[in-house]
Amino acid sequence: MKGEVWLAVWSMLFFIVDAEIKCEFEPDGQMFHMCNATDDSDNILQRGLVSDKRKTFHIILNQCNIVSIELEAFYRLPALAILDLAENKIESLPLGVFDRLPSLSRLNLSYNLLTELPLGIFNHNRDLSVLDLEGNSLHNLKPGLIDPLWRLYQLDLSHNFFKGNEIVPALFDKKRDISILTLSGNDMTEANFLSIMNNLNYLYMDGCKLKVVPKLATDLNMKNLRHLSLASNEITSVDDAKTFSKLKDVMKLNLSRNQIVFIHKDVFKNLRYLEEIDLRYNKLTTLPIDMFQNIPKLYELRLSYNLLTDIPLNAFAGTELKRLSFDNNNITHLHKNFLLKIEDAGLMLRIMHFGNNPWQCACLRELLREAKEMEVLYDTDKYDGGHPVCVSGKDFYCRRDEAAHDEFIRMYNENIR
C-alpha cells in the first residue's frame, strides 16, 4: 500500500550543510528530492526553504530531524499536490499551516511524534484524498476534523494509541465513503465506530489485540469489502459458519499469525469472489475435506507454518487454485499421484511450496518427480542436494499408513530439525 501511494522521483539532488535543510529544485521548479540529515541536530522548517514556489507539486522531506514547522513554511504553493513529512520529530502542527495548499491531495505525516491534530487544520484542503498518520502518538481525533476532506478515500491511523471504544462514530459521520482504512497496531477489542460506514473496500486490523473475528468488520454495512486483514491478532477459532457470510464481494482474507486451532468447515462458503486466503502461522492440525471446495474464484491458499499432517486430495474441487503453500507443517507424505489426481479433477496448480516438512524420502521423491513432470514450480532451493531434507526407514518405499506418521516425525525432529 505504501509503495502505491508515496511514489518518489529519484532524479533530483539534495544537500545538507551545517545540519540545515537545503534542497535544490529541478530547473523548472516543480519538484525536489528528499533530504536526509547527516547528524542528530534538530531543524525547524521555516518559510523560504520550500515556500513561494508556484510550480512545485511534490515535496519530500523525510528524515530531516524536523521538530517543528512554522506557520508560513508552505506559503504560496498553489500547485503542491504531494507533501511527505514522514519520519521526522514533529510534535505539533500550527493551525493554518496547510491553509495555503489548495491542491494538496496526499499528505504523509507518518512516524512523527504527533499527539493531537487541531480542529480545523484541514479546513482548506478539500482535495486531500490520502492522509497517512501511521506511527504517531495520537489517542483520538476530534469529530469534525476530517469533515472538510470531501475527496478523502484513504486514511491510515495505524500504530498510534487509539482505543476502539474511545473512537466515536461521529468522527466519520460525513466521511462514510472512505474506501481504505488502516487501524493496525491499535487496540480495537471493543470498537464499534464503523457501523455508519458503507463503502469500505479495504480494512486492515492487524495486531489489534483481537481475540475473535470482530463483528464491526463483518456486519452487513461491510458488504462492499474487498480486502479484510485480521493478521497478527489472538484469534483462536472461527466457529460460526456465518462469520463472513455478509462479505459477499470479499476477494482477499488474511487470518495469518493468529492462534487458530479450529475453523468451521462452512465459513468460506458462498464467498463467490474470494481469491486469496492466508492462514499461515496458526495452529491448524486438520483440514476438513470440503472447507475450500466450491469457492469458484479461489486462486491462492497459504497454509504454511501450521501443524497439518495431511492435505486432503479433493480439498480444492470447484476452485481455480493456482498457488498452494503448506511448507513448515507436519506432513510426511501426500496421496499417491497427488498432482495428477487434482489435475484430473480440473485444477491447474502452477506453484506449490512444501519445504521443511518431515518428509519420508521415498514419498518426497515421488512428489518431486511428479512436480517436474507436470511443470509445477516449487521451492527448489530446499531440494538442491546441499542439505538433508527427509528421512527414511530401512525399506525405501512410501508408507502411507497412519501408524508410520509419528515415527517419521520423530526421526525428522531428531536428525534434521
CB contact set of 156 (below 8 Å; sequence gap of 6+): 110, 131, 132, 133, 134, 182
Q: What average pLDDT score do residues 226-250 get?
A: 97
Structure confidence at residue 102 (pLDDT):
95
If one counts every other C-beta atom within 10 angstroms of the C-beta of residue 21, the result is 21
Q: What average pLDDT score do residues 261-266 get?
A: 97
Higher confidence at residue 31 or residue 153? Answer: 153
Q: What average pLDDT score do residues 37-45 get?
A: 76
Q: What average pLDDT score do residues 110-130 get?
A: 97
Which residue is it, cell 456465518? 242
Residue 65, pLDDT above cutoff 80: yes
Structure confidence at residue 54 (pLDDT):
86
Q: What average pLDDT score do residues 111-139 get?
A: 97
Structure confidence at residue 5 (pLDDT):
35
Residue 358, pLDDT above cutoff 60: yes
Residues in the chain: 417
If one counts every other C-beta atom within 10 angstroms of the C-beta of residue 3, the result is 7
Q: What are all long-range contacts of 398-407, with beta carbons under 8 Å and residues at least 24 apart?
A: 398/333, 398/336, 398/360, 398/362, 398/363, 398/366, 399/333, 399/360, 399/362, 399/363, 400/333, 400/335, 400/336, 400/363, 404/332, 404/360, 405/309, 405/332
d(CA 248, CA 232): 24
Structure confidence at residue 18 (pLDDT):
38
Higher confidence at residue 160 or residue 8? Answer: 160
d(CA 327, CA 129): 40
pTM here?
0.90
Structure confidence at residue 393 (pLDDT):
83
Structure confidence at residue 48 (pLDDT):
85
d(CA 233, CA 194): 19
**Cβ–Cβ under 8 Å, residues 95 and 120:** yes
Condensed to tens digits (0 to 9), the pLDDT of residues 154-197 reads: 999 999 999 999 998 899 988 888 999 999 999 999 888 998 88
Strands 130-132 and 154-156 turn out to be parallel
Structure confidence at residue 384 (pLDDT):
80
CB contact set of 278 (below 8 Å; sequence gap of 6+): 231, 252, 253, 254, 255, 256, 302
* Whole-angstrom Cα Rg for the chain: 26
Higher confidence at residue 235 or residue 397? Answer: 235
CB contact set of 316 (below 8 Å; sequence gap of 6+): 292, 293, 298, 301, 324, 342, 347
Closest CA to 342 of 276, 292, 406, 272: 292
Domains of the chain: 1-161 (3.80.10.10), 330-417 (no CATH)
Structure confidence at residue 32 (pLDDT):
54
Structure confidence at residue 17 (pLDDT):
31
Q: What percent of the chain has a predicted confidence (pLDDT) above 70? A: 91
Cα–Cα distances in Å, from 74 out to 47, 96, 129, 298, 328? Answer: 7, 10, 19, 48, 52
d(CA 23, CA 396): 69
Q: How confident is the model at residue 387 (pLDDT cuts 50, 70, 90)?
A: confident
Q: How confident is the model at residue 8 (pLDDT cuts 50, 70, 90)?
A: very low
Q: What average pLDDT score do residues 214-232 get?
A: 96
Q: Which of 32-36, 138-142, 206-210, 413-417 has the lowest mean pLDDT?
A: 32-36
Strands 106-108 and 130-132 turn out to be parallel
Residue 305, pLDDT above cutoff 60: yes
- Burial class from Cβ neighbours inside 10 Å (0-12, 13-18, 19+) for residue 31 reads buried
